[in-house]
């Protein structure tokens, strides 16, 4: 609409000018080189306009003729540039498809037509990475350092290549340079944090975490948790040499993350050693409400040194009331009751855990209870045998590694705060990181090591104790060997497989089976010199948490472990309820 009005205005001006000239006629006379030209004013004006248009046309033709060489050159460059970018596009597609031959061909074509463009250098580097030519890839990344727009990309590529060849010093130098040039780079900040944590430089690691939080490269909750983990690591490292510094760091860690078990347990123990019993108990109770863990329970029961077993039992009752029906609280209460020789309470406390499938620690506690209450070696060995096949208890798990101690950094992947207190899965395996060469978005080409490390105290130690023979006392009569049904079947299969080759060589008549002797009850008191397994020692190794044992959580929501079929072992009667056993020939079972 505006253009239409503008055109109308121009035409109106021209019309007004023509009318004005028509109303004012006149003559124009020109005398030049002996020639005289006379005409009207209107014709003279038209002639001037035509002359101006002719001059403009001649100037345009002259410019076109003079600019033909540069026009041809520009068109050629444009065509070459278009072909170069087309080659870059096809090369990136070939890299994404995993075709190194096509990627290399398109990279060569892009370099020939597009020259030293940033995308051409990136294509060359990615094609070299795809084909395994690390030297050519590094050369392309070093070329990127010469241009400001590709300098950071070149540093990223050189960082990746340095990590691939295992040169961590060079990788750290490239990451430092990238952070100085562009502080908001996420990959460079993450790399520096990993370098600091793997080197054990907790102060520098905390600085890196705070910088990431300030740049909004990490969530506030994540940064807060990472600071607490680093403070806990610093406290654990300094607890022997600098106790004041360790206590301050542990208290600050508990403020940032009250449920961080290593920090809470260490802070509680150190406060108790300083005589601040009330503050230590309050801190441990707050941590127990967040997450239940055997380390917190042990620190809470030992909060006042020199207390009697009854005082420890009273504190265990208080701890169990804070989280009712929690398995860790039940185990802590049962252990305290056994040490206080309140066997009835310990047995009653363990009943819910035994009914739902007893774990290793529950079986060991039952073995300790039988040893302390009755001193029955058979019952003790029965529970130790069940412990070898019971589901595993919760432990610290990170990247397929099962550990009985908490560590701030995973020894497999180097990840901060990787350990989680959970029930270990039945099968552990490594999960290698995926490598992405298209955008050089990888941190390390070294595959993860398959973790097969197990806790220091495992079920195998219980197996050795359970397999130890128990010597009969001098007054006991030798008892016939009784096997469970699965063991008898396995033994029969083994004997059959061994006897088959011998049977082919010579046929011998089978001997008649001898009648099994009847089992007679033996209620004679056991000799004190009788050799028995020591369940207390086993339970102490498995149940007593060390200074860095982890934070327990409820088993709800965790993967269900494989439960081996075992014969049910009912709760044992007290000494006053012991009745003479009837001899059973066909239905006798070892496990009740």
Between 14 and 562, the higher pLDDT residue: 14
Q: Is 106 contained in some domain? A: no
Beta bridge partners of 396: 403, 421
Between 495 and 164, the higher pLDDT residue: 164
Which segments of 165-216 does DSSP mark as H helices, in order?
168-181, 186-199, 202-214
* Count of CB atoms situated within 10 Å of the CB of 438: 13
Domains held by the chain: number: 2
Task: Write down the residue that tokens 């049977």 correspond to.
Answer: 503
Q: Where are the beta strands (DSSP E) in 430-534?
A: none
Q: Which of 29-43, 249-263, 559-573 has the lowest mean pLDDT?
A: 559-573
Beta bridge partners of 420: 397
Residue 501 has pLDDT above 60, yes or no: no
Torsion sign (Cα): 214, 216, 218, 219: positive
Q: Is 241 contained in some domain? A: no
Cα 351 to Cα 346, 365, 575: the distances in Å are 9, 12, 19
- Give the residue among 462, 479, 514 at the shortest CA–CA distance from 588: 479
Q: Is 339 contained in some domain? A: no
Residue 471 has pLDDT above 80, yes or no: no
Give CA–CA dist 228/211, Å, rounded: 15
Q: Is 429 contained in some domain? A: yes
What tokens were used for 231?
Answer: 């403070």
Q: Is 457 contained in some domain? A: yes
Q: Is 182 contained in some domain? A: no
DSSP 46: H
Q: Is 137 contained in some domain? A: no
Most confident range (mean pLDDT) of 46-55, 204-213, 569-578 is 204-213
Q: Is 242 contained in some domain? A: no
Please compute Rg for the chain using Cα positions.
43
The band of 428, judged by pLDDT with boundaries at 50, 70 and 90, is low
Query: To which H or E segment does residue 421 belong?
Result: strand 420-422
Domain range spanning residue 35? 8-66
Domain end, chosen from 24, 44, 66, is at 66
pLDDT at 335: 93
Query: To which H or E segment does residue 208 belong?
Result: helix 202-214
Cα 162 to Cα 131, 155, 261, 441: the distances in Å are 17, 10, 37, 14
Q: 437 in helix, strand or coil?
A: coil
pLDDT tens track for 517-546: 443 434 333 433 344 444 444 333 433 334
Domain end, chosen from 16, 50, 66, is at 66
Give CA–CA dist 160/547, Å, rounded: 38
């Amino acid at each position: 609409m505006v253009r239409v009005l503008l055109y109308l205005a121009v035409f109106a001006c021209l019309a007004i000018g023509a009318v004005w000239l028509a109303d004012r006629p006149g003559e124009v006379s020109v005398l030049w080189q002996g020639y005289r030209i006379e005409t009207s004013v209107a014709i003279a004006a038209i002639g001037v306009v035509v002359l101006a248009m002719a001059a403009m046309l001649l100037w345009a033709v002259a410019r076109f003729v003079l600019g033909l060489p540069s026009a041809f050159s520009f068109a050629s460059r444009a065509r070459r540039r278009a072909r170069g970018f087309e080659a870059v596009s096809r090369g990136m597609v070939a890299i994404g498809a995993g075709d190194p031959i096509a990627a290399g061909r398109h990279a060569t074509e892009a370099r020939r037509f597009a020259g030293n463009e940033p995308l051409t250098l990136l294509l060359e580097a990615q094609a070299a990475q795809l084909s395994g030519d690390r030297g050519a890839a590094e050369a392309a990344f070093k070329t990127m350092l010469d241009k400001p727009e590709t300098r950071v990309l070149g540093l990223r590529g050189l960082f990746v290549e340095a990590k691939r060849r295992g040169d961590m010093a060079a990788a750290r130098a490239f990451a430092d340079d990238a952070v100085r040039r562009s502080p908001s780079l996420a990959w460079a900040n993450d790399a520096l944090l990993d370098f600091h944590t793997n080197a054990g430089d907790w102060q520098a690691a905390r600085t890196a975490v705070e910088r990431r939080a300030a740049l909004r490269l990490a969530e506030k909750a994540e940064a807060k948790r990472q600071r607490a983990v680093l403070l806990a690591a610093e406290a654990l490292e300094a607890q022997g040499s600098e106790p004041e510094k360790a206590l301050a760091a542990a208290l600050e860690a508990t403020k940032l993350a009250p449920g961080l078990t290593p920090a809470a347990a260490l802070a509680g123990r150190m406060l108790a050693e300083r005589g601040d019993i009330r503050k230590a108990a309050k801190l441990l109770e707050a941590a127990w409400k967040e997450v239940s863990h055997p380390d917190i329970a042990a620190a809470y029961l030992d909060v006042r040194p020199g207390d009697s077993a009854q005082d420890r039992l009273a504190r265990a009752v208080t701890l169990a009331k804070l989280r009712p029906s929690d398995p860790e609280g039940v185990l802590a209460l049962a252990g305290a009751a056994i040490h206080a020789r309140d066997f009835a309470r310990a047995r009653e406390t363990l009943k819910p855990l035994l009914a739902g499938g007893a774990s290793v620690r529950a079986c060991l506690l039952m073995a300790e209870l039988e040893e302390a209450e009755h001193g029955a070696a058979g019952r003790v060995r029965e529970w130790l045998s069940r412990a070898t096949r019971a589901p595993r208890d919760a432990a610290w798990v990170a990247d397929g590694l099962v550990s009985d101690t908490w560590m701030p950094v995973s020894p497999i992947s180097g990840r901060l705060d990787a350990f989680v207190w959970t029930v270990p899965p039945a099968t552990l395996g490594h999960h290698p990181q995926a490598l992405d060469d298209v955008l050089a978005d990888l941190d390390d080409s070294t595959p993860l090591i398959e973790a097969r490390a197990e806790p220091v105290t495992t079920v195998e130690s219980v197996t050795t104790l359970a397999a130890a023979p128990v010597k009969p006392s001098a007054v006991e009569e030798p008892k016939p060997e009784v096997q469970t049904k699965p063991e008898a079947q396995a033994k029969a299969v083994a004997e059959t497989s061994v006897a088959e080759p011998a049977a082919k060589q010579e046929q011998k008549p089978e001997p008649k089976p001898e009648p099994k002797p009847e089992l007679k009850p033996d209620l004679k008191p056991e000799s004190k010199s009788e050799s028995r397994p020591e369940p207390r020692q086993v339970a102490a190794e498995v149940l007593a948490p060390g200074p860095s044992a982890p934070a327990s959580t409820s088993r709800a929501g965790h993967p269900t472990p494989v439960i081996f079929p075992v014969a049910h072992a009912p709760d044992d009667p007290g000494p006053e309820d012991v009745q003479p056993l009837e001899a059973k020939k066909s239905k006798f079972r070892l496990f009740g």
